[in-house]
Structure 1
Amino acid sequence: MNTYVRKLFHRRKFFVKLLTYSLLIAIIPNMVTSILAYVNVTKVFRQEASTKNQVLLTQMKSAMEILVQQIQENNKQVIYNTSFRNFENFPNGYYYENLSGNLKTEDLPTNYWYLRNKDEAVNSINLFKLSSSYVDTVYYYDRDKSIVLTFGGETLLKQYDYGSFYDKDWFDSLDRFDERGMVFLDTRPAMQANQSLKNVITLIIRSSVSNAFIINLDVDKLEDKIVSKLSDQDNLLIVSRERGLIFKSHGEKTTDELLELIKDDTRVFQDTNNTVIQKNMLITSTFSPELGWSFVNYTSMDSLEQGLNYLKQQILMSSLFLIFATILIAFLSSKKLYRPLQQVMDTMRVQKQKADGSSKPELKDEFQDIADFVRLTVYEKERIIDRLQESLPYYREKFILSLLKPSTRTEEEINAKLDYLGIEFELGPVICFVVSMDNYTILLEAEDPKIIDLYRIKVIHLLQQCNYDGEQVLITEVEDDKLAIVMTMGNLSLDNVFLIAEGMMQQLQESMGDGFTVGIGSPCSDMSTLPGSYHGALESLQFRFLYGGNQVIFIGDVSLISSGDQDWFKQLSEAYVSNIKLGKSEDAKQTLDAIVENIKEKRIHYNEARSFFAQLLQGLQYGISAIGGKTDTLFGLDPYQKLANKQRIEDITDWFEELTDRVIVSVSEEFNAKGTNHITKILDIIDADLSQDLSLNAVASRLSLNPSYVSRLFKQFVGKTFVEFVTSRRIEQGKLLLETTDMKVGDVATSVGYQNSYYFIKLFKEATGMTPGEYRKQHVRE
């Protein structure tokens, strides 16, 4: 047998060599290609997994940063709340906090104000606790008073002496505040009032040198709402810069095992994004300088590459098939040198028949297959080119959008991209417009996507047809209801830009009707500062709240708006609440109109204007509550959300007027039910006898009432003492006489009930900050 084989190879030595060389030349590239394909696919798969984890971590980090920022901002509102500051800094607070039994008469007034300030502070802290569903409990620790107020949990609100408080793990961290006046603690099992333990992340915010808020975030809720986006195979750690554990998801690895992998890698606690592979683990991390935390995700490479198994099998099977096909082709090609192709095919048919006894099988023409493959390749190439041409508008839109975001691209790179996409746009000074389709929410009610798309397409078409004074423009959709226009400026002045914007607005209104607002950003010297112009245009659109729609708003005209002195608001808001409590509907609405006019005249930013209205609503709620009104029934469960949903100042005014009518009706019914029509009679006596010697006893005697009852009734429903109210009415009447008559100051004092003009001048200056003479001069000058 061996001799036969040697003779066979000897007779076909050249054939054997040719076959061997053909096989080597054909098989090696296939093997190398298969190996490279496997390596590249594995690499890409890991990169995609890393990118996915990085996106999830970044979202998680952003969510946590936003959550902490919101908590911090809401806490600042509590800290800067007047009632809270009064409570915290109340003189001899420790003394009044520990009063018990029968109180001394001289302690009663001060103790009343202490308890009132404390009640209002507690309300504001409770609102802060309710502002975030992630906040489990809030402690307020007052070192001077040696008390801890707790909000949340099973007890809702409770006060403890510090010595008897059940959860003190945070106390040692009160001296570790950062420059922002706050400190984070690692995740800890916090003792509850019922002696159970609950995992929380504690944030401590200093309210003063010795006092602080301790805010406990519910770890289970954070995991359910934020961390649950990760797969079950992932292990998540949130680690502080000091390597302390903030949070760990439920995974197979222990905390020590995971920390061991990153403890010496400083990039995890410095770089924004970082990806490494250690001990068969894909470790993806992102660091938050705001929180001082590093968010680290661990993914087992074994579990990660399980998804590659099927792909590996496909590559292996394809490689084996290619190798087998190559061997066959090489063998047949080599045989062709010795025998005609037909003889080879006949031989194969004969062998096939002998092997299975079947009829003559059809053998495929290999060269025809090659020709078909070439034709298919050409067809696929043409189809790819057609798809690229079809996708070109999308890539143009995407590129224009990228110009509106900060980037490090040079002008050469931008020019090259413009040329590649076939966009004609000359780089240089530019400016950005943003057109807002204010009727978009109305279109959404139609529930027909075609109507919305046609509306948007028509607006874009009209903008393309506008006269841009020969300048080049790029138009793109930035939001569902907003379109951005980037225009070259050349030698155009801002006046020309405004004329172009006005023309744009006019063309839209003529074709589409009202419902458009154009925001203009600041001019840019080059494309690198275009994102700033774009954000300026967006910011200017926010002033629709102040100016209304169908306007052209330039960021330069609104960026310097400031509210200035707020004393006017305090006076008007107090008058508004007082008029409602007295049932004076028209006076209340006139005061509301005065507040709106002041906001418009002072050109107050819409965010601050909305804050004013929120304060007005809060004052109204407090005033109605003080006279026993049912605030839940009158205002609803969440009046602040209703206020926040109003987008224009006119809508807010209408809402307050409706609220005014509803509250006054209720207050009037409350007055009649309690017999407080005495207040109306008292006010009538004061108005009629303002120039006379008015006293509480005299008025009470005229109505046959007890002076103490009149005093208490007056304070409850007017909000001031009898003397304070009479003084304020006399000062207001004095202002009117100084403005409208030439009477001497002494005569004015006598007319409003003050026989001693010096005493009148003293009271007038205390109330207005100026003497009657100075007030009259200022009024004449104005």
Structure 2
Amino acid sequence: MPKLFSSKYLVRLLLFSLLIGTIPVVILGSLSFLRTKHSLQEKVNDSHMKLLQQAQFNVEQQLMLFENLMTQYMSSSLMNEALQTPLSSKYFTMINELNAGLNKLQPFELGVKNIYVTSLRFGWVLSNEGFTTLEDSRMKDMIAEYAKSPEASFWTAMPPETAANGGEAQERLSDAAVPGVRLVKKLPVNWSNTSGLIIGEFPASKLEKLVFNEAEDRETIILDSEFRTLTQPAGQVLQSADALKQAVESIRQAAEPAQGYVTFKSQGEMIGVMYNKSKYNGWYYLSVSSLSDITKDSRSIGWYTLYVSAGVFVMILFLAWIGSKRMYLPIRSVFSLAVGDGKPGEREDRDELQVIGDHISRLRTSELQLSNQLRKHSKQLEGFFIRRLLQGEIRPSETRERWAQFAYDSIDGSYAVMTIQIDTLDKTRYSGHDKDLLLFAIGNMVSELVPREQRLEPVVMVNNQVTICRSRVEQEEELEAAVYAFAEQIQTTVWELLDLKISIGLSRPYKDIQETPQAYKESLESLKYRVRFGEQVILPFQNVLPDTQIAMAYPEWMEKELVDAIKMEDREKARGLLNELIRHALKENPRYIDFQMVLIRLLVDLLREWQEAAGLTVNPMSASGKPMHEQLLDLKTTEEIEAWFYQYIIDPMIAALHTKWEHQNKKISERMLDMIHEECESDLTLEICASRLNYHPNYIKNVFRKETGTNFSDYLSQHRLTLAKRWLVETDMKISEIAERLRYQNSQNFIRYFKKVIDMTPGQYREKHK
């Protein structure tokens, strides 16, 4: 016996236990970490997007306010008059009024740098710097460029050189940084011909105040529609101009230009950029953050997950060791039983399961041998199947099941029925009592002479020995020749061994196994014509009765299922089976006379079942006084036949059976109620009632529930409770006496049940109602 700790199987079991325990932990830990990291990233991105949208809202609110002020100023009558006037120093009053309007457009909250009003028609420019001609203005080139734009109103970045002239030059992180933005509107409003412009300058310093970043791990940047920097990065996340260029390039290449999230690597650090494009002026608002700062919490969660997984692994290791030893103990016991008193050296050289497997293999061999023996003893069951097949009592589905049960190799191929009859026992050494024994002996000879793969089990049918021959090939000619050769060999062997003359009838070959009943009838029919040929002959049906069609056997299995459906009161199933039976009979009986015989037999069998089941004498006359079989034969179509059977036979039969069973069930339930009312103080049970009524307990249980709407036990308990309530009010019986009379095991059970149903104790009920 191998030692417990030196067993190879124990080591493999331990390793396998560790494997199946560790893999789920690793997978679960990894998925949990990834899911937590992803969830954390989503929450941070969502937070950054909300902050970015808030910053965008603040900026656009200021820009819109400035644009609204400019629009109001542009729409004034003074502005319309000035655009139509060649202003000069002599119009100092109008110039002062225009300057006063410009001052109102520059409140401190907005932080507007300067506003220019110019007349393209008369060539003058008015701004905070004073009044001058367009030719002398430093804005001459920019005004000419803005006038060419097809848009009536637009925002544009201020050129760096203009800002330098204004004294606002600064060192920027990006070469593309601009000192501010301008709002340009063409004058007059809603006119197709542009005669002037109004230009408002909004400095970058004001934009930077609006998007001021308090967090060190995130900063907000504004880009114009051409990706030029409008606000200066603080340098907290983007440490160089190249980093900003990478961010801009990532946004340019993004699949979704309006809104999204991109990442890139700068100086060995991953940077995340959340961006949103403004629908107001096409600017881009960027929220830039360092992914390493974002994932600090996820890294701590990862370490925590790792520690927990390691602890779980240690626990799994301990449990795997304990469990493996316990699981190995039964195997060791089975191994000990398997090897018995064998040599220890031989046992230790082999794996435990290998030894056990060898013993199981031997047991399996013994089982197969036993199964073969059982198969030999199952000939009677196989013979019963063959007889039912010959008589047409088996559905196709059942045929396939039995085919597999008896291990026939295939259901496809060709078949033929061979029927053997003893010609005579006169002038032989046998008597009439020996006929069954002789047929049995002939069957054994057939089993020996015809190979197993070319026949089914030979059976005895009344005074005939019948064998279904088969061939795997579908050529009928080959099967005909083979069956005839078998018949000759059988006939010769029976004569030589038994000194007995036999004649053999052969059916025509067929391919559908369900045609066996018809083939059996053909073989019997051919044997009737031995009167022409004498004794000891072989009569193939196609030679004796060429071009003759034998009526198909009656489908008894369909009729049986139809009767069962009628007894179960299943009208839909009965109608479907009736339709199937009629169509099957019509298909298999092409001659009208044969079809009529099937209908007459069906009618007679149903009337007989009706009379036996309902216990009534069925009148064979129809309501019109005409016999039912005559009325049936007068019908012309299958639809009329089916409707007639259902109307005059099946439906009334179901109604009659239902009435009988209702009367019977009502009688049963009434007798059970009488027993309850009369013997409720005894140990009355459902089984006692069943034995008195001579029915099965399950049957009377279902009848009682159907008739009364409640179970037997519930009704008995409710009746006893009614008696208890009456005794509590009308008598002075003790509660314990009442419980004892009503067959409760003790008074506490009675009190608990009473309180559960009545919602008060028996004592409280007595005080309330007595």
Query: Normalization by structure 1: what TM-score?
Result: 0.36
Higher relative contact order (CA 8 A, sep 6+): 2
Query: Normalization by structure 2: what TM-score?
Result: 0.36
